[in-house]
Structure 1
Amino acid sequence: MPPMRVLAGPGLDSLVPITDIVNTGASHSITSDLFEGEVAVNIKGFTDPDGHVLDSEYFNREERKGVTWSIQVQGRFLQTYSADDILFGNTFDKPLKLPWGSGAALKFMKFVDPTMDHDLASPTKPWALSPLISTMPYFAHAKMNYNDDKSSLVAPFPAEQSLMDDTSQLTMATVNSLDDSPASSASSSSSSLSSATSSTSTTSSKKMLDLGRKKKEPRMDNLTTAAARRSYFHETNNRRKVIFGPEDVITTDFCYGFLEFSPGLSLRLPGGVSFDLMKYWDGQPVRFVCCERKNSPNSDVVNGDSNEDPWGRIFWCIAIEPAFTTEDENVAQGVESA
C-alpha cells in the first residue's frame, strides 16, 4: 500500500491530520455549530507517511472478519433534522477517471444500498450519497433527556466491543413522540415535522390517527437487526418520521471489505470482478462526508446562502489521500516543480 494520510474535521476547509490515531483505538473530536462528536478510523494494512504498516485488533474480531476499513462516529446534531435530510457518502472536487466496467461496480453499490443516489460521472463535482440511517451497516441511537450527561448514556468511544445495531429508542425520536416534548417548540427540520407541529387537530383525534397508523405500518421498535432497519428506512416516509436533534446520540460504524488497501489499492466485487484503483486514482482526496440534503429545510440554500455544491452543509468529513503529492516528491528529489 502506498503511504497515506487521513484527515478529519467539521468541514472541507477545516480538515486536520489524524493519521497518528489510525488503527490505535483512539478518537478525534469534531465540533461545529451543526455537530459535535468523535470519529475513529481503522484501515487494514495502513501504511503511514513514514512507511510503517499499522494494523488494528479491530480486524481480528469475529464479527468483523472480512472487513478492511472502518469509519466509526459518535455524536449529535445540534439542529433538528429529519432522518431523510442527513446524508452520508462520498464527494469529490474534480471529475473521476472511471475504469472500464465501472458500471458493474455501480450496480453492486446500488445492490448494497438501494437508497443511494449519485452522479459519479459529473464533469464538475462527482458525488454518491445516501440517507445515513439506511446506509450504515451498523447504527445505534440513544435518547437523552435535557438533564442527561451524554457520557452516562453511551460506552467509551470507540468501545472495545464492535458496535451492533440498537434502535430500541428510535420511537422516542419520531414526529408523534416529539409533539409534547420541548424539542417541538424548536424550528422544524422537515416538512413532516412542520405539518405535525402545526396541526390543529384535537389531542383525542390525533391519538386515534396515531393508533390507525400503527395498525397499518410496521412498528419501529421491531427493527431488531441491521437488515430490518435498512429495509424499513428504505421508504422515504419512514425516514421523514424520525427527527434527530441535540438530544439524540448516534453511533455508527461504516465498515466493508470490498476495498483492499494492501498490497495495493483495489476494489474487489463478488464474482471475481476487481479493479486496480491505483491505475485510475489521480490522487485527489477520497472524502467520506456526512452532510445535509441539498435544499432541506435547514440547508444553507434555504437560509439564503449561495452554495453551488450538489450537497448541503457538512456535519463531518473524513478524507484519505496520498501522503505525498507529485510536488512533494519532486521537492524531495531536489527538482523544482513547475
Structure 2
Amino acid sequence: MSHSNASPKYRLAVSAGLDYDHAKHQSVQVNGETLRLEDDRASFDLNVRIQDYTGYPDSSPKTSPYFEHPLHKNDQYSICFTFTPKQDINGNDLVFGNDFDKPLRHRLPPGFNAALRVVKWTIDSSLDGDAYADKPYLYSPALASWNQFRIGEKGQAQSSLMEKDLVVEEGADGQGLEERSKLDIPSTAAERQKFFQKEKNRESFVFEIGRTYMADFGNQYLSFSETAIRLPGIHIPVSGMVDEDNHELRYVLKDNKTGEVYLVVSYNLIKQDSENAAQEESK
C-alpha cells in the first residue's frame, strides 16, 4: 500500500533475470532478501536498495542500513551483486548501463542533452550511447562504471556470497589481492574507474572462470521516490517520460562484442488504475 495520503499514479516494481525475457524474471524484494540467479554462464547474488521505497512488493522495507554507511549517506539507490562467470570474459567486452526496446526521442524532456553532458562530465566520462536511436542505449565499460569493485577468490562457496545488508567496498579478498597488484589496479574506487577508462587497461583484465567479483552501482542523482533525475542545476521528472510503451528502466550487464546478456535489473512503473497493479499486489 502507499505510504502517503494521496494515492500515487504509479508504483515501482523491481524484477531481475538473466536475459530480457520478463516471463523468466523474478521479483526483487527491494531493501530485503538477496536474490540468487544462475545459469550455465554465470551466477549472481543480487541486492537492490532504494531510499524511501514505497513500491512493490509490500513486504519490502522502506529503507536499508546500506544508506547509513559513510559511503552511501547521500545515495538514492544501489544495484549490488556478486558475479561468478563460468567462462572467461575479457574486461573490455563487458558493459553496464541502460537500454530500451522502443524509441524515447518523442518523450525526452527539454534539457536531456544537457543532463547527459553533466553525467559525462561529473559522473562517467566513458559513457557512450544514443538516446535518440530507435532502440536507445547508454552503456559504459563495466570496470569503469561500477562505484565499488572487489575481486574475490576462485572456488568460493556459493551458499552465501552476498548477505542482504552487505556493503561492498573497493578492494580484494585472498587471491584477489594478487590479481589487483599484478595489473597495477589502483586501490581507490575513483582511481580504478579512471584506470579502466583506458581501453588497453580493460583489455588486460579478464573476468576469470570460477572467480567471484563484487560490484556496486548507485548514486544520488536518480530518485525513485520522486521519480526524477536530479543533477546540478537540472531536475527532470521521469513520470513525464512514462506512457503505455515506455514504463521501464532497465540496467543491463552484457558482452558488447557478442551481444550476450548476463544480467537485467528492471525497474517498472506500474499504473495504479491498471490490471497490472492488482497483479503486482498478488505477488
Q: Partner residue of 1:289?
A: 252
**Deviation per residue, 1:277-310 (Å, 9 max, x gap):** 11122343111010011xx3xx2xxxxxxxxxxx
Match of residue 274 from structure 1: 235
Structure 1 stretches of 5 or more lacking a match?
175-217, 300-311, 333-338
The structure with more strand, counted as a fraction of residues: 2
Q: TM-score, normalised by structure 1?
A: 0.70
Q: Distance in 1 between matches of 2:176 and 2:124?
A: 21
1:31 aligns with 2:38: yes
Deviation per residue, 1:83-114 (Å, 9 max, x gap): 01011000101111211111111112212111
2:47 corresponds in structure 1 to 40
What CA deviation, in whole Å up to 9, does each residue of 1:232-267 have, x standing for no partner?
A: 1111011000111223211011010101122x2111
**1:234 matched to 2:197:** yes
Give the structure 2 partner of residue 259 of structure 1: 222
- Greater shift, 240-249 or 126-135, is seen at 240-249
Contact 2:96 2:139 in 1 (8 A): yes
Partner SS state of residue 76, structure 1: strand
3-state DSSP of counterpart to 2:171: coil
TM score, norm. by length of structure 2: 0.83
Is contact 1:171-1:221 (8 Å) kept? no
The 3-state SS of whatever aligns with 2:184 is helix
Task: For structure 2, list consecutive stretches of 5 or more residues without a partner in the other structure.
Answer: 1-7
Aligned residues with identical type, % of pairs = 25
Tell me the residue number matched to 1:128: 138
Determine if the alignment matches structure 1 residue 3 to structure 2 residue 11: yes
Superimposed CA distance per residue, residues 195-226 of structure 1 (whole angstroms, 9 cap, x where no aligned partner): xxxxxxxxxxxxxxxxxxxxxxx973351100
Q: Residue 74 of structure 2 aligns to a residue in which SS?
A: coil
- Tell me the alpha carbon deviations over residues 167-213 of structure 1, each in whole angstroms, 9 at most, x when there is no partner: 57568659xxxxxxxxxxxxxxxxxxxxxxxxxxxxxxxxxxxxxxx
Aligned length: 263
Report deviation, 1:268. Answer: 0.8
Secondary structure of the 1:256 match is coil
Please, which moves more after superposition, 244-253 or 234-243?
244-253
Q: Which secondary structure does the structure 2 equivalent of 1:114 belong to?
A: coil
1:298-337 equivalences under 5 Å are 299=258, 312-324=259-271, 327-328=274-275
Matched, 1:60 2:22: no
Counterpart-to-counterpart distance in 2, 1:323 and 1:80? 38
Q: SS where residue 84 of structure 1 aligns? A: coil
- Bigger Cα Rg: 1
Q: For residues 317 and 126 of structure 1, do their structure 2 counterparts lie closer, same or farther at Cα, with a shift above 3 Å needed?
A: same
2:156 corresponds in structure 1 to 149
Paired residue type of 1:328:
E
Q: CA RMSD in A?
A: 2.7
- Residue 12 of structure 1 aligns to a residue in which SS? coil
Counterparts of 2:229 and 2:44 in 1: how far apart (Å)? Answer: 30
Which one-letter code corresponds to 2:229 in the other structure? L
User: For the residues of structure 2 that align with 1:75 and 1:331, how far apart are their CA atoms?
Assistant: 34
CA–CA distance in 2 between the matches of 1:328 and 1:106? Answer: 35
Q: Cα distance, 1:78 vs. partner? A: 1.4
- Please name the residue that 1:119 is paired with: 130
